[in-house]
Amino acid sequence: MTANDSTASARAVRSMPLTFAAGAAVGVLGGMIGLGGAEFRLPLLIGVFGFAALAAVILNKAMSLVVVLGALPARLGAVPLAELGAHWTVAVNLLAGSLLGAWAGASWALRMRTATLYKVLAALMVLMTAALVLTHTTTVGTLTLPASVQATAGVVAGFGIGVVAAIMGVPGGELLIPTIVLLYGVDIKTAGSLSLPTMLVAFARYSRDGSFAVLGAELRFVAVMVAGSVTGAVLGGLLLGVIPDLVLIPVLLISAIKLARHAPPGHPQPR
């Protein structure tokens, strides 16, 4: 994929009030299901604001990183460092795979044809939807595995999560949470604290490509949308549990369908 492909955009209405409102909507939806909302942001960047697939992924990754960093003090307050330290083996096991996966995923995204990336993003949206359904409708049990098998499974699962998170530009909490519970039986609050290193690796890989220039060109857009997301997340947190989580699942599925049918800039939509 060329830099021109990744930074091209249809320049749909890019007004700052609309940008803030879209960010707020993402924050509300994410807050209502206890996540950052990056999965909802990606379709908006493509479908509403007209960014090409790779540019949208890079912008989504940047905004996700800012949101995660902003939430870090509150997260450390809820999950003390001592508690995280007690699970350092889990972190090392998963990060051994996810850091490699994040680098590989970002590299693959940079090399994909634009049309292929749209379809991959659509498929991953369906995967995220399935993960949300799993974590919000069932009680994930814990597997009892020999130490060597558990370690191998952790590296493999971490690699897959890193790939998905890098290609979509998301933290990957929807996949981290059930994986950590399933393999290690650890409290799900610990899961979110493992996404930051993986995000930083993917961000570093994207920064080595010319397509990363879209971030510098859209800093004002990013700042306004992040501000909206933070504002919306506060409201979404207050609505947590008020609206059933499954009501939001169709939003992700519809977004996945639209992404699969999305045509690259300059190409007609399929009929």
Give per-residue pLDDT as tens, 170-206.
888 778 878 888 888 776 565 566 677 888 999 999 9
Helices (H) and strands (E) in the chain, counts: 13, 0
Residue 73 inside a domain? The answer is yes
Which helix or strand (DSSP H or E) is residue 59 part of?
A: helix 53-78
Whether 225 has a pLDDT exceeding 60, the answer reads yes
The total number of structural domains that make up the chain = 1
Mean pLDDT of the chain: 80
How much is the pLDDT for 145? 87
Report residue 103 as tokens. Answer: 């680098």
Q: Which of 120-129, 191-200, 254-263 has the lowest mean pLDDT?
A: 254-263
Residue 269 inside a domain? The answer is no
Residue 19 inside a domain? The answer is yes
Residue 270 inside a domain? The answer is no
Residue 182 inside a domain? The answer is yes
Which helix or strand (DSSP H or E) is residue 5 part of?
A: helix 3-7
Whether 258 has a pLDDT exceeding 90, the answer reads no
CB atoms within 10 A of CB 86: 12
Whether 45 has a pLDDT exceeding 70, the answer reads yes
Q: What percent of the chain has pLDDT over 70?
A: 74
How much is the pLDDT for 196? 78
CB atoms within 10 A of CB 119: 16
Residue 248 inside a domain? The answer is yes
Of 196 and 219, the one with more pLDDT: 219
Residue 59 banded pLDDT, cuts 50, 70, 90: very high
Residue 232 inside a domain? The answer is yes
Whether 269 has a pLDDT exceeding 60, the answer reads no
Residue 271 inside a domain? The answer is no
What is the mean pLDDT of the segment spanning 138-159? 88
- Residue 195 neighbours by CB under 8 Å, 6+ apart: 68, 165, 171, 172, 173, 176
Determine the 3-state secondary structure of 209 from DSSP. coil
Whether 10 has a pLDDT exceeding 50, the answer reads no
Residue 12 banded pLDDT, cuts 50, 70, 90: very low
Q: Which of 91-100, 111-120, 180-189, 198-207 has the lowest mean pLDDT?
A: 180-189
**Which structural domain, as residue segments, surrounds residue 112?**
3-261
